[in-house]
Amino acid sequence: MILQRLLGDRIDGGSLTLVLPDGQRSSVGTGAPEIVARIHDKGALLALLRNPRLAFGELYMEGRLTLDQGSLINLLSLVIGANRFEDGGHKGRLKKQLGFIKSLLPRRNDATAARRNVAHHYDLDERLYRLFLDPDLQYSCAYFHDTARGLAGAQADKKAHIAAKLDLRPGQRVLDIGCGWGGMALTLNRLAGVEVLGVTLSEEQLRVARQRAEEAGVADQVRFELVDYRALAGRFDRIVSVGMFEHVGAAHYGEFFAKCRELLTDDGVMLLHTIGKYGKAGKPDPFTDKWIFPGYHLPSLSQMMAASEEVRLIATDVETLRLHYAYTLRHWLANCHAHRAEIVALYDERFFRMWEYYLAAGAVAFENGAMNNFQVQYVRDRRALPITRDYMVEAEQRYRAMLAG
Amino acid sequence: MILQRLLGDRIDGGSLTLVLPDGQRSSVGTGAPEIVARIHDKGALLALLRNPRLAFGELYMEGRLTLDQGSLINLLSLVIGANRFEDGGHKGRLKKQLGFIKSLLPRRNDATAARRNVAHHYDLDERLYRLFLDPDLQYSCAYFHDTARGLAGAQADKKAHIAAKLDLRPGQRVLDIGCGWGGMALTLNRLAGVEVLGVTLSEEQLRVARQRAEEAGVADQVRFELVDYRALAGRFDRIVSVGMFEHVGAAHYGEFFAKCRELLTDDGVMLLHTIGKYGKAGKPDPFTDKWIFPGYHLPSLSQMMAASEEVRLIATDVETLRLHYAYTLRHWLANCHAHRAEIVALYDERFFRMWEYYLAAGAVAFENGAMNNFQVQYVRDRRALPITRDYMVEAEQRYRAMLAG
pLDDT tens digits for B321-336?
999 999 999 999 999 9
CA closest to B375 among chain A residues:
A317
What is the 3-state secondary structure of B310-350? HCCCEEEEEEEECCHHHHHHHHHHHHHHHCHHHHHHHCCHH
Contact assignment for A280 to B309 by CB distance below 8 Å = yes
Is the minimum CB–CB distance between B143 and chain A shorter than 8 Å? Answer: yes
CA closest to B380 among chain A residues:
A86
Q: Is the pLDDT of residue B57 over 70?
A: yes
Contact assignment for B314 to A320 by CB distance below 8 Å = yes
Q: Which residues of B touch A157 (CB under 8 A)?
A: none
Name residues whose C-beta falls within 8 Å of residue A96's C-beta, 6 or more positions apart in sequence.
Answer: none
* Residue B120: Cβ within 10 Å count: 10
DSSP β-ladder status, B195-200 and B173-177: parallel
Nearest to A318 among B317, B380, B383 (CB): B317
CA closest to B385 among chain A residues:
A322
Q: How near does any CA of chain A get to the CA of B325, in Å?
A: 11
Tell me how far apart the alpha carbons of residues A268 and A110 are, in angstroms, rounded to a whole number.
44
User: pLDDT band at residue A400, thresholds of 50, 70 and 90?
Assistant: very high
3-class SS of residue A313: coil
Q: What is the mean pLDDT of residues B32-40?
A: 92
Checking phi first, is residue B323 left (phi over 0); if not, alpha (psi -120 to 50) or beta? alpha
- Greater model confidence, B104 or B137: B137
Contact assignment for B323 to A88 by CB distance below 8 Å = no
Q: What is the pLDDT of residues B194-245, one digit of tens each?
A: 999 999 999 889 999 999 999 999 999 999 999 999 999 999 999 999 999 9
Tell me how far apart the alpha carbons of residues B230 and B253 are, in angstroms, rounded to a whole number.
12
pLDDT score at B87: 85
Tell me how far apart the alpha carbons of residues A84 and B381 are, in angstroms, rounded to a whole number.
10
- Per the DSSP assignment, residues forming a β-bridge with A225 are A199
Q: What is the mean pLDDT of residues B359-379?
A: 96
Helix (H) or strand (E) holding A307: helix A301-310
Average pLDDT over chain A, rounded to whole?
A: 89
Q: What is the pLDDT of residues A9-30, one digit of tens each?
A: 556 678 899 999 999 998 888 8
Q: What is the mean pLDDT of residues B279-286?
A: 79
Contact assignment for B144 to A388 by CB distance below 8 Å = yes
What is the percent of chain B with per-residue pLDDT over 90, rounded to a whole number?
Answer: 73
CA distances to B220, B258, B263, B315 from B312, rounded to whole Å, are 34, 9, 14, 9
CA closest to B303 among chain A residues:
A302
pLDDT score at A36: 95
Q: What is the mean pLDDT of residues A304-320?
A: 97
Q: Which residues of A touch B312 (CB under 8 A)?
A: 85-86, 88, 278-279
**Ranges A111-120, A264-273, B64-73: which has the least confidence:** A111-120
Helices (H), B180-269: 183-192, 203-216, 253-263
Q: Which of residues 36-95 of B touch A (CB under 8 A)?
A: 85-86, 88
Q: Is the pLDDT of residue B358 over 60?
A: yes
Tell me how far apart the alpha carbons of residues A379 and B10 are, in angstroms, rounded to a whole number.
26
Tell me how far apart the alpha carbons of residues A155 and A262 are, in angstroms, rounded to a whole number.
30
**Ranges A83-97, A300-314, B321-335: which has the least confidence:** A83-97
**Ranges A32-36, B6-10, B30-34: which has the least confidence:** B6-10
Asked if the interface predicted TM-score (ipTM) of this complex is over 0.85, the answer is yes
Identify which of A140, A139, A145 has the alpha carbon closest to the alpha carbon of residue A157. Answer: A145
Average pLDDT over chain B, rounded to whole?
A: 89
Amino acid at B125: D
Q: Is the pLDDT of residue A112 over 70?
A: no
Contact assignment for A323 to B387 by CB distance below 8 Å = yes
Q: How near does any CA of chain A get to the CA of B76, in Å?
A: 19
pLDDT score at A87: 85
Is the minimum CB–CB distance between B171 and chain A shorter than 8 Å? Answer: no
Q: Is the pLDDT of residue A70 over 80?
A: yes
Tell me how far apart the alpha carbons of residues A183 and A152 are, in angstroms, rounded to a whole number.
12
Q: What is the pLDDT of residues A154-171, one digit of tens each?
A: 999 999 999 999 999 999
pLDDT score at A96: 44
Nearest to A320 among B300, B302, B315 (CB): B315
Tell me how far apart the alpha carbons of residues A144 and A158 are, in angstroms, rounded to a whole number.
8
Tell me how far apart the alpha carbons of residues B64 and B70 are, in angstroms, rounded to a whole number.
16
CA closest to B86 among chain A residues:
A381
Q: Is the pLDDT of residue B361 over 90?
A: yes
Q: Which residues of A touch B302 (CB under 8 A)?
A: 302, 305-306, 309
User: pLDDT band at residue B110, thresholds of 50, 70 and 90?
Assistant: very low
Is the sign of the CA dihedral B272, B277, B278, B281 positive or negative?
Answer: negative
Is the minimum CB–CB distance between B145 and chain A shorter than 8 Å? Answer: yes
Is the minimum CB–CB distance between B382 and chain A shorter than 8 Å? Answer: yes
Q: What is the pLDDT of residues B115-151, one digit of tens each?
A: 333 335 766 788 999 999 999 999 999 999 999 999 9
Contact assignment for B389 to A319 by CB distance below 8 Å = yes
Helix (H) or strand (E) holding B81: helix B72-81
CA distances to A341, A343, A354 from A351, rounded to whole Å, are 12, 8, 5
- Greater model confidence, B84 or A333: A333
* Residue B6: Cβ within 10 Å count: 24
Is the minimum CB–CB distance between B148 and chain A shorter than 8 Å? Answer: no
**Cis before residue B33, ω within 30 degrees of 0?**
yes
Q: Is the pLDDT of residue B112 over 60?
A: no
DSSP assignment of A243-258 equals: S-GGGT-GGGHHHHHH
Tell me how far apart the alpha carbons of residues A107 and A255 are, in angstroms, rounded to a whole number.
35
Tell me how far apart the alpha carbons of residues A105 and A94 are, in angstroms, rounded to a whole number.
17
Contact assignment for A387 to B324 by CB distance below 8 Å = yes
Q: How near does any CA of chain A get to the CA of B227, in Å?
A: 29
The CA-based dihedral angle spanning residues A311, A315, A316, A318, taken in that order and rounded to the nearest 10 degrees:
170
CA distances to B182, B192, B193 from B172, rounded to whole Å, are 18, 9, 8
DSSP assignment of A136-172 equals: T---S----SSGGGHHHHHHHHHHHHHHHHTT--TT-
pLDDT score at A123: 66
pLDDT score at B5: 62
Q: What is the mean pLDDT of residues A205-215?
A: 96
Tell me how far apart the alpha carbons of residues A282 and A291 are, in angstroms, rounded to a whole number.
18
The size of the A-B interface in CB pairs under 8 A is: 106
Q: How near does any CA of chain A get to the CA of B194, in Å?
A: 26
Q: Is the pLDDT of residue A41 over 80?
A: yes
Helix (H) or strand (E) holding B102: helix B92-104
Is the minimum CB–CB distance between B250 and chain A shorter than 8 Å? Answer: no
User: pLDDT band at residue A102, thresholds of 50, 70 and 90?
Assistant: very low
Q: What is the pLDDT of residues A231-276, one digit of tens each?
A: 999 999 999 999 999 989 899 999 999 999 999 999 999 999 999 9
Contact assignment for A381 to B322 by CB distance below 8 Å = no
Q: What is the mean pLDDT of residues B306-329?
A: 98
**Ranges B26-30, B53-57, B350-354: which has the least confidence:** B26-30
Contact assignment for B382 to A278 by CB distance below 8 Å = yes
Q: What is the pLDDT of residues A280-300, one digit of tens each?
A: 767 788 888 888 888 889 999
Q: Which residues of B touch A316 (CB under 8 A)?
A: 319-320, 322
Q: Is the pLDDT of residue A218 over 70?
A: yes
Is the minimum CB–CB distance between A114 and chain B shorter than 8 Å? Answer: no
Q: What is the mean pLDDT of residues A329-356?
A: 96
pLDDT score at A1: 58
Helices (H), B105-172: 111-117, 126-132, 150-165
- Length of chain A as a residue count: 405
| Cβ proximity of A241 and A356 under 8 Å | no
Tell me how far apart the alpha carbons of residues B392 and B300 are, in angstroms, rounded to a whole number.
25
